[in-house]
Amino acid sequence: MACFAKIHGDVCTKHNFIRVVPMKAALLSILLAGLVVLSCNKPEPVVEAKDFAMGTVITQKIYGANSKAAAAEAISKIRELEKILSFYLADSDISLLNNSAGRGKVRLHPETFFLLTKSSEYAHLSGGEFNIMVGPLVKRWKVTAESPDVPSPAEIKSLLTLIDYRDLHLYKDDCSARLARKGQMVDLGGIAKGYAGDEVIKIYGKHGIKSAIVDIGGNICVLGLNTDGTPWNVGIQDPRRKRGIYIGSVSLSDKAVSTSGAYERFFPAGGKKYHHIIDPRTGYPSESDLLSVTIIADSSLDTDALSTTIFILGLDKGIKLIKKIKGTEAVLIKNDGAIYATEGLQKNFNCSAEVIYR
């Protein structure tokens, strides 16, 4: 998913009123116009950065005096988070916890503990559909590996016995956690990039940045307004067409937007597409009636966890859940291409196709 940075560049308008106003006013106008032109000659500094971390591309566009420092601090924070939260790095907190499954408690970094706690909350909220304990299945499916294969039904059946979110035990007093049984694993792939987005926005604020957009592999956060004073336009990928073709866009400021879909991380086998969002009840890639889900809310952690959850829940249950969570909106694209959106988006979802608001 990408974003439209609506930079119209020239915010100055040429003044032609000198001809029609009296002399004194004309002089004042010339002075004022001069000031405006001066300020236009000094456009706000902008930094555009593209990096790779957390197995994905990260892009930042930041306006303001400290944009360079803010961009650098943001990417270094993302890399720090990756070191502790990655399922793929041998010495991350998550790997330490996974490797100690069935053996005992592991002391964790407060941010790891926080994310495990939030994940647990989402597991309860979604009735176990959002379930970071899918780690053993994620590892077996290895959807983005060079030569993935479809596990046998027996393998899936055996791995499913390990998937139970109630087996993640959290101990707030000493910031530790424990996985009850050997072989169990947590994977924060459905929530940690969102958390990183929230942290990046905090960093921008610390540097006095008033206008910025960051995209962490489909988890987008927009800060303030665009430089022309209009909201940011965040494009929503058409899941049936190639990357960069949008079904529409949402106009937003100070919001997070996350999209989950089956169209980017998958492998084909036997005429089927096997994607990366696992239904914890079946052990197979989720087969709901949705092609993609975009969630819009204040916190990127929430939009990330919810986009994954709603994708698995499907249209009806998904909309029902969204309606229960205040300040959260969604755009959902069904398998047949029909576009649904929550009623709160009626004013800021720009889409030329028919949209069914619910």
Which residues of the shown chain bind Mg ion in the complex (CB under 5 A)? 190, 304, 307-308
Closest of 306, 311, 350 to residue 329, by C-alpha = 306
Which two tokens mark 150? 């479809």
Binding flag, residue 301, ligand FAD (CB under 6 A)? no
Q: Which is nearer to ligand FAD, 53 or 250 (CB)?
A: 53
Q: Which is nearer to Mg ion, 184 or 258 (CB)?
A: 258
Contacts with ligand FAD, 187-206, as mask; x by CB under 6 A: xxxx-xx-------------
As a whole number of angstroms, the distance between CA 129 and CA 111 comes to 23
* Cβ(215)–Cβ(4) below 8 Å: no
Smallest distance from Mg ion to CB 194, Å: 6
As a whole number of angstroms, the distance between CA 68 and CA 48 comes to 9
Contacts with ligand FAD, 207-236, as mask; x by CB under 6 A: ----------xx------------------
- According to CB under 6 A, which residues from 270 to 299 bind ligand FAD? 276-278, 280
The counts of H helices and E strands in the chain are 9, 18
Closest of 318, 334, 191, 214 to residue 262, by C-alpha = 334
Binding flag, residue 168, ligand FAD (CB under 6 A)? no
Q: Which of 61, 75, 82, 294 binds ligand FAD (CB under 6 A)?
A: 82
Binding flag, residue 130, ligand FAD (CB under 6 A)? yes
Residue 142's region, left for phi above 0, alpha for psi from -120 to 50, else beta, is left
- 28-56 burial code (b ≥16 CB/10 A, e <16): eeeeebeeeeeeeeeeeebbebebebbeb
Q: Which is nearer to ligand FAD, 192 or 339 (CB)?
A: 192
Which residues are bridge partners to 248 per DSSP?
Answer: 236
Specify the stretch interacting with ligand FAD by CB under 6 A; choose among 1-9, 26-34, 50-58, 100-108.
Answer: 50-58
> How many C-beta neighbours within 10 Å does residue 143 have?
15
Q: Which is nearer to ligand FAD, 8 or 83 (CB)?
A: 83
Smallest distance from Mg ion to CB 233, Å: 22
Contacts with ligand FAD, 55-74, as mask; x by CB under 6 A: xx------------------
Q: Which is nearer to ligand FAD, 67 or 92 (CB)?
A: 92
Is the four-CA dihedral 65, 68, 71, 76 of positive or negative sign? Answer: negative
Which two tokens mark 118? 């939030």
Q: Which of 312, 313, 339, 355 binds ligand FAD (CB under 6 A)?
A: 312
Which residues would be at the binding site for ligand FAD (CB under 6 A)?
Answer: 54-56, 82, 85-86, 88, 130-132, 134, 138, 144, 187-190, 192-193, 217-218, 260, 265, 276-278, 280, 304, 307-308, 312
